[in-house]
Amino acid sequence: MEALLALSAGLALLAGALGPLVAEIRAVPARAAAAALASEPVPDRQDLMDIVRRSETAARFSDPAGHLQRAALARWALAGLDGFQGPEGRAEATAALALERASLASAPGNPFGWAWLCQVDARLHGISPFSARAWRMSALTGPFDPDLGGLRLRIGLLHWDAFDGDGRAALAAMIRMEVARDPAALAASAVEADATRVVRRILVADPPLLLAFDQGVARYLPPPAR
């Protein structure tokens, strides 16, 4: 599978040098939309506008989901160049969201796309029932995809209060699988999302898993005062 675009903390975005990042955006497959572009170095405005034009044109002829996804990522990067502020930044961010929704309308079985939609909508409009539903769609279309790993866990933990029972059950299942696979990674995600209490509540009935999680969290606690 082609490499997943890198994700930084919270609702953070793709990093990388100009050349490699342009290549990543041009090559991103229909599935690989789990990351956004933000404060890290990005291609210049003209490169991104060219990617948008080519991708939106190509979407009329073949693979609309993949090409619209590329256009969405590039428009999100354009919004990032404006700090997601002002008329241009907001317009590009809104256009990126619309393109991602169009991509998913063409290929709804894309867990990366749904996770990215959740992330971007929450960044633009705050955590909401809509972004919670997008996360749930990601969970339904790819419940245990290892490539989504910490990204979807972090987003899910941030959405805990917005989830219905099904959303919470899906996140709880992912947490139990992740703590058995990599408790340190789960601890990092929970600390980052300020959600260690949520994870402990989910794991309380399984003492060995809870202990593994607590040991991971302990690495992030300040040393005891002397």
Domain extent listing, the chain: 1-126, 128-226
Q: What is the pLDDT of residue 89?
A: 87
Q: What is the pLDDT of residue 220?
A: 85
Q: DSSP string of the chain?
A: -PPPPP--TTT-EE---HHHHHHHHHH--SS----EE-SS----HHHHHHHHHHHHHHTTTS-HHHHHHHHHHHHHHHHHHTTT-HHHHHHHHHHHHHHHHHHHHH----HHHHHHHHHHHHHHH-S-HHHHHHHHHHHHHSTT-TTTHHHHHHHHHHTGGG--HHHHHHHHHHHHHHHHH-HHHHHHHHHHTT-HHHHHHHHTT-HHHHHHHHHHHHTTSPPPP-
pLDDT per residue as tens digits for the range 88-145: 888 999 999 999 999 999 999 999 899 999 988 998 889 999 999 999 999 999 888 8
Average pLDDT rounded to a whole number, residues 166-179:
94
pLDDT > 90 fraction of the chain, expressed in percent and rounded: 49
pLDDT > 70 fraction of the chain, expressed in percent and rounded: 80
Evaluate if residue 14 carries a pLDDT over 80.
no
Q: What is the pLDDT of residue 149?
A: 75
pLDDT, the chain, mean: 80
pLDDT per residue as tens digits for the range 45-84: 888 888 899 999 998 998 888 889 889 988 988 888 878 8
Q: What is the pLDDT of residue 225?
A: 63
Q: How confident is the model at residue 11 (pLDDT cuts 50, 70, 90)?
A: very low
